[in-house]
Amino acid sequence: MRTLYAFRRILILGLTFSLSSAVFADIRPEKIRTADGKKTQSYLQDGMVVGGDRAISDAIVRDIRRAANPAGFERIVVDLQGSSNGEIVAIPRPPFFQTAINADEKRIIITIYGHPKLSFDAKKVLAAFSKSPVVSSVLFYPVLEEDAWTFVLELKEAFPVEVFELTHPVRIILDVKRKKVATQMVPAQAKARSASKPVQQEQSAIEPESESSGEE
């Protein structure tokens, strides 16, 4: 039984190491960013975002949730709390974390440090993400190392991602930008609209869609 457990642990460790190495080895220094403390519309197609505080330990991952934002992105939130001697305590910001975005693999790898403990309903999280228009699957890796935990978001396409952190409450935010789908009008409607408001239509076509921060 011990031999089987040891084999499974080595296998999982090997898979985790291979997954991380394949992503991190391809990230150049210029592709590494530091997470902001607010939304700045700074999306990344491929690279790494690091954030949090290395001094914070004994963190609790309370939940991982998602919600579509009408501004054109899907918000993924990692809710965090602190812990001390089994009691929940306040922390000023997230513990140190790394978010690797791999466009070729259409994958986001999130690693949270600070001796994280998992306190969320995995089945509930998976059920919520099954309705996501941007995430195809979520992979939870077992906590094999005391100081870190990794989970993976497999994307349906190589969407650009913005990563930042918020406080009160403390959480890590990943905004996955969806592709805009142009609406089609029937020829009669298009002709009528073009004839009535030619200048306004031309202007609206070049103006970018505004995006609210949608802080949660």
> CB–CB of 69/212 below 8 Å?
yes
Question: Beta 97-102 vs 107-113: how paired, if at all?
Answer: antiparallel
In whole angstroms, how far apart are CA 85 and each of 55, 145, 154, 194? 17, 19, 35, 67
State the Rg of the chain over Cα. 21
Sign of CA dihedral 169, 174, 180, 181: negative
CATH class of 2-180: mainly beta
Cα distance between residue 199 and residue 204, in whole Å: 9
Q: What is the pLDDT of residues 35-67, one digit of tens each?
A: 999 999 999 999 999 999 999 999 999 999 999
Strand ordering across the sheet containing 107-113: 32-34, 47-51, 97-102, 107-113, 148-155, 135-140
List CB contacts of 158: < 8 A, sequence separation 6 or more.
Answer: 45, 46, 103, 104, 106
pLDDT attached to residue 187: 52
Q: What is the pLDDT of residues 148-186, one digit of tens each?
A: 999 999 999 999 999 999 999 999 999 999 976 544 444
Q: Is the pLDDT of residue 29 over 60?
A: yes
Q: What is the pLDDT of residues 61-118, one digit of tens each?
A: 999 999 999 999 999 999 999 988 888 899 999 999 999 999 999 999 999 999 999 9
> Containing H/E element for 139?
strand 135-140
pLDDT attached to residue 22: 45
Query: pTM of the full predicted structure?
Result: 0.75
